[in-house]
């Protein structure tokens, strides 16, 4: 599987772009390069290879569903449990994930289909956004 491709797919929360190529996502979304993307991972072992979860929050991260965690270093991760989205992530192990729209704009299906390298059907916009929590060494703060 080519990790440089941009996939348009149904993520666990919305229709999104998924790729391991951050620079290509920046261009497609017309987003500043300094902004971070959420890294979606296929399991807790992959998460452990990418970052360190503070001991106090390990159970919360393990049990969470459709929840993004911002680690103390500022990078965001979400462990995917949705089986449809996992079909792709199990092949990539991890990927940057973002909504399928231009930065700060509404979803435009024609645009999203036009810039994606690979389209994974079916697509549906009816899901709710993920919860976001910022993890500190001793506290957990809800962002969304």
Q: Confirm whether 1 is domain-assigned.
A: no
Q: Which domain holds residue 106?
A: 7-142
Classify residue 62: in a domain, yes or no. Answer: yes
pLDDT at 138: 80
Task: Encode pLDDT of 75-119 as tens digits.
Answer: 999 999 877 788 889 899 999 999 888 888 888 889 988 999 988
Domain membership flag for residue 110:
yes
Task: Give the pLDDT of residue 11.
Answer: 84
Does residue 115 belong to any structural domain of this protein? Answer: yes
- Domain-located, residue 37: yes
Q: What is the number of structural domains in the chain?
A: 1
Domain annotation covers residue 117: yes
CATH assignment at residue 47: 3.90.870.10
In terms of Cβ atoms closer than 10 Å to its own Cβ (0-12, 13-18, 19+), residue 90 is middle
| DSSP-derived pairing of the beta strands 94-99 and 67-70 | unpaired
**pLDDT of the residue at 71:** 92
Give the model confidence (pLDDT) of 17-43 as tens digits: 999 999 999 999 999 989 999 999 999
Q: Does residue 2 belong to any structural domain of this protein?
A: no
With respect to residue 95, please indicate whether it lies within any of the assigned structural domains: yes
What one-character-per-residue DSSP string does the chain give?
--TTSPEEEE-SSSEEEEES-HHHHHHHHT--TTS--EEEESSHHHHHHH----GGGHHHHHH-SSEEEE-TTS-EEEE---HHHHHHHHHHSEEEEEESSSTTS---HHHHHHH-SEE-S-----SPPPEEEEE-SS-EEE--
Weakest-pLDDT range from 34-43, 49-58, 117-126: 117-126
Is the pLDDT higher at 94 or at 144?
94
pLDDT of residue 69: 94
């Amino acid at each position: 599987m080519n990790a440089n491709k941009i996939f348009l797919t149904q993520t666990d929360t919305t229709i999104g772009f998924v790729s391991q190529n951050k620079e290509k996502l920046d261009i497609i979304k017309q987003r500043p390069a300094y902004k971070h993307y959420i890294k979606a991972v296929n399991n807790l072992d992959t998460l452990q290879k990418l970052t360190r979860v503070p001991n106090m929050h390990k159970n919360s991260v393990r049990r969470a569903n459709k929840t993004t965690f911002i680690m103390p270093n500022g990078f965001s991760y979400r462990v995917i449990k949705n089986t449809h989205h996992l079909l792709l992530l199990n092949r990539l192990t991890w990927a940057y994930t973002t909504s399928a729209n231009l930065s700060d704009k509404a979803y435009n299906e024609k645009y999203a289909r036009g810039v994606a390298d690979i389209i994974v059907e079916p697509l549906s916009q009816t899901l709710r956004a993920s919860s976001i929590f910022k993890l500190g060494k001793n506290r957990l703060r809800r962002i969304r």
